Structure 1
Amino acid sequence: MKITLRQLQYLIALGEARHFGRAAESVHVSQPALSVQIRDLEAAIGTRLVERKAREAVLTPAGREVVARARRVMEEVQAIAEVGRQERGLTGQLTLGVIPTVAPYLLPAALPLIRARNSALDLRVREAQTAELIAELQGGTLDAAVIALPSKVRGLSEHPLFTDRFLLAGSAPRVAALEGATPRPEEMDPDSLLLLEEGHCLADQALEVCGLDRSRTQVDLGASSLSTLCGLVAGGFGVTLVPELAACAEQRMQGLALTRFAAPEPCRTIGLVTRETSGQGAWVEELADLLKRAGTETIAAATV
């Protein structure tokens, strides 16, 4: 009996989900179909790979070793599939990950540009926090991801797209009270600084530019989106940092005011990351060029 790539894919999914039903759902097959493939794989290898318990499935030591090797196999398969794309450019299917503090502001400008380049491209977008996107990129689920650089992850290639400066956001009366004074990030009152919930890189960046840690911020409402955070500060609940990329969309919110920091303005670098095995093919260059154009045009439209 031969070992198939499908069987390896299903075992990897089972190892991650630790549950036959959830694993089957993640690879879009029925639970019985997945179970049959796992049993066939065990028969082919000649040893048990999964401990089947009442409410979970746990990999045996042999199962963990097979999964580790299977991941390397799948990475090579993905690299083989990408060989043709490197020369063809943006064609076929492309799965792109984008962090939440970029996706709603960059994609409305980027998607029309990408569609105009190739209307037949099967583009799939995944919005998630940086750690999730990097894990999925390494695992081959994503082809590329838009995150804040640097990624600090070995095995990834980084392609800087644009610089995204931070703005101070607060209620109109609070910002007006500055009376023309240009604020500095390090002078912000930690008691009034609102942050996104932990896991968002924007929260960590805001703390870094203000020279703070999360334990020093007493007003931390754990907002899960930048729009929610802007709504809170517009209502008088403290202040926050908003990337310039989001300014054009968020400044329409009633009661919200934005102002710039003193030079040098704090900023982040938004970039496209790919696996090193993806190379520097035409599709990477094309995608990076389109995303860069969309980002710079969106930022230029801000009126702060």
Structure 2
Amino acid sequence: MDITLRQLTCLVAVADHGSISAAAQALDVAQPTVTHQIQLLEDFIGHRLIDRSARGITVRAEGQIVVDRARAILRDVGSLADDLEDIRKVHGDVKLGIIPTASASHFPFVYRRMLTLYPDVHLVVSEGRSLDLVEQVRQGDLDLAVVTLPIHYTDIDIVPLWREELVVIDSAQSGFAEEPLLVKTLGGYPFIGLDSGTGLQRTVLSLFHEHGIQPNIIFQATSIATVIGFVASGLGISIVPNQAVRVFADVGQVVVRHLNPTAFRQLALIHRPLDTMSTALRVISQTFAAQARRFPQG
């Protein structure tokens, strides 16, 4: 026999109303039903939970522990029903910003899942640099954004998503060997970077700084496509997310080498505090994060 919600409901009702008869009346059931459900619960737990007397019911210490847990369980079950109802009611526009290097890999799968779950939501997506997206969320111009960590603001909520390995890319004609490339050797190569407002470039520069490297940056692009184009033409190397460049490596435009030690960037979903969001937007943000976390890390 298992504990049932009916047993917990009867126990809480008795604790609230102080007698079996009052609890039965509140639940609109017969008194023997309440008595039987509590007896089943006591038998399962192996402790007396209430004392019965002519003056009414007294909840024992053991019973109070169960009552408190029962209240939390019943509250969670009730909120589950509310959440399911919220899903059915979700509609309207949600403005989402995303960095371009994330939008081409995992994001399309999350986007498709969101459309399936919430067909009445109009998800408006725009691309931008991490720094710009953070400010747009803070100012209320965007509801959500997918950006690169770290973020040093305390007025927005940050939900970690997936982690991506960073790799070195060079021209397919470069003769790059397959073995991992030591980070400390990268200072001698001409480097193709992204605009300094991008989270990826800040992560890469932080990596260089950590290893005491002064990078030889010969060009800063505004898009990952431009970076790949310059690298493929033999103008220099770059460091990019593995997922973002994999398709170009598969067709022979660039060659990929892992870093030693391995480096990563962490993506996150940001939004204003949950207590300032509508129910629909809260459901969308929580579901988005849950779907995104399903992806492999690295």
- Mapped partners of 2:117, 2:197: distance in 1: 34
Deviation at 1:190, TM superposition (A): 4.6
From 216, 224, 242, the counterpart of 1:244: 242
Q: Summarize the Cα distance change of 1:185–1:129 in structure 2 as closer, same or farther, 3 Å threshold.
A: same
Deviation at 1:241, TM superposition (A): 0.6
Aligned partner of 2:27 in structure 1 is none
Aligned partner of 1:156 in structure 2 is 156
Aligned partner of 1:124 in structure 2 is 124
The residue type equivalent to 1:275 in the other structure is R
- Mapped partners of 2:223, 2:127: distance in 1: 12
- Mapped partners of 1:155, 1:227: distance in 2: 33
Aligned partner of 1:284 in structure 2 is 285
**Contact conserved, 1:114 with 1:287, CA < 8 A, in 2?**
yes
Residues 15-60 of structure 1, C-alpha deviations (whole Å, 9 max, x = no match)? xxxxxxxxxxxxxxxxxxxxxxxxxxxxxxxxxxxxxxxxxxxxxx
- Mapped partners of 1:268, 1:283: distance in 2: 24
The residue type equivalent to 1:287 in the other structure is F
- Mapped partners of 1:292, 1:222: distance in 2: 31
5+ residue gaps, structure 1, are 1-83
Deviation at 1:187, TM superposition (A): 2.0
The residue type equivalent to 1:236 in the other structure is G
- Mapped partners of 1:257, 1:222: distance in 2: 20
TM-score w.r.t. the length of structure 1 is 0.61
Deviation at 1:126, TM superposition (A): 1.7
Q: Summarize the Cα distance change of 1:119–1:219 in structure 2 as closer, same or farther, 3 Å threshold.
A: same
5+ residue gaps, structure 2, are 1-81
Deviation at 1:115, TM superposition (A): 1.0
The residue type equivalent to 1:183 in the other structure is L
Q: Secondary structure at the match of 1:102?
A: helix
Greater Rg by CA: 2
Deviation at 1:145, TM superposition (A): 0.6
Q: Which has the higher strand share?
A: 2
Aligned partner of 1:91 in structure 2 is 91
TM-score w.r.t. the length of structure 2 is 0.62
Q: Summarize the Cα distance change of 1:173–1:123 in structure 2 as closer, same or farther, 3 Å threshold.
A: same
The residue type equivalent to 1:225 in the other structure is S
Identity percentage of aligned residues: 20
Aligned partner of 1:111 in structure 2 is 111
Deviation at 1:86, TM superposition (A): 11
**Contact conserved, 2:179 with 2:258, CA < 8 A, in 1?**
no
- Mapped partners of 1:109, 1:220: distance in 2: 35
Q: Aligned residues, how many? A: 210
Q: Summarize the Cα distance change of 1:216–1:87 in structure 2 as closer, same or farther, 3 Å threshold.
A: farther
- Mapped partners of 1:243, 1:166: distance in 2: 4
Q: Summarize the Cα distance change of 1:171–1:133 in structure 2 as closer, same or farther, 3 Å threshold.
A: same
Aligned partner of 2:229 in structure 1 is 231
- Mapped partners of 1:191, 1:258: distance in 2: 15
